[in-house]
Amino acid sequence: MKNLIIIFILCFSISCSSWKENIQQTGDENVAIHNVITDFTHKSSLYKKNNVFYISVNEIKSEKIIITVFPTQDKFLPEPEDTIGNNRGYLPTNFIEQGRKLFYWDDSTKVLTKEVVEILNTYNLIDSINIHGFIAVPEGAMFIDDRQKGVDYYICRNNLKKYKKVANSIAYGYYEAPKLNCE
């Protein structure tokens, strides 16, 4: 019985630490996003309750960035300018699908691709009601729930493994940010 308990504890500690090994210390914003998704999928109860997540990246100081992961059900209402190869910043240009869950964001270094459009369509996130430039917003589209929580990750640019996170229904900038020493 004692050996069984030791084996269980050992297996549990190995499985918990294995995902942390995927967190990279250096890289660009996309590496930071991958780190955030890795942490979020293993540590957030929001991951279990939702299927689609919007990611936004903001710089608060040159040494820190904030990456927000926010569950969403909003649909995109494309306009004629939203074509493959274009990037006007409305439709996301990058995504990660993990465990039948979608994370999407606007990557300023990429353009809209057929693959992005297909994945958005797979998750029923595109509503194409746009008649002669007039967009009719269907009921339930673009619904914003101010009570919905998201997670803000405050990350050191020089060491992506140094971060703090805040789960909140209040947008960053409207609450006291956690102290994070990036030196």
Write the pLDDT tens digit of every residue in 92-131: 999 999 889 999 999 988 999 999 999 999 999 988 665 4
* CA separation for the pair 132, 82 (Å, rounded): 14
Confidence tier at 133 by pLDDT (50, 70, 90): low
Write the pLDDT tens digit of every residue in 50-90: 999 999 998 777 889 999 999 998 888 887 788 888 887 67
The reported pLDDT for the residue numbered 146 is: 60
* CA separation for the pair 82, 91 (Å, rounded): 7
Short-list 96, 98, 118, 97, CA closest to 107: 96
* CA separation for the pair 181, 64 (Å, rounded): 10
* CA separation for the pair 71, 145 (Å, rounded): 10
Q: Are 156 and 182 in contact (CB under 8 A)?
A: yes
Residue 5 scores a pLDDT above 60: no
SS3 state at 158? coil
The reported pLDDT for the residue numbered 51 is: 93
Q: Is the pTM of this model over 0.85?
A: no
Q: Are 174 and 90 in contact (CB under 8 A)?
A: no
Q: Is the dihedral of CA 52, 44, 24, 29 positive or negative?
A: positive
Residue 107 has which token pair?
């990557």
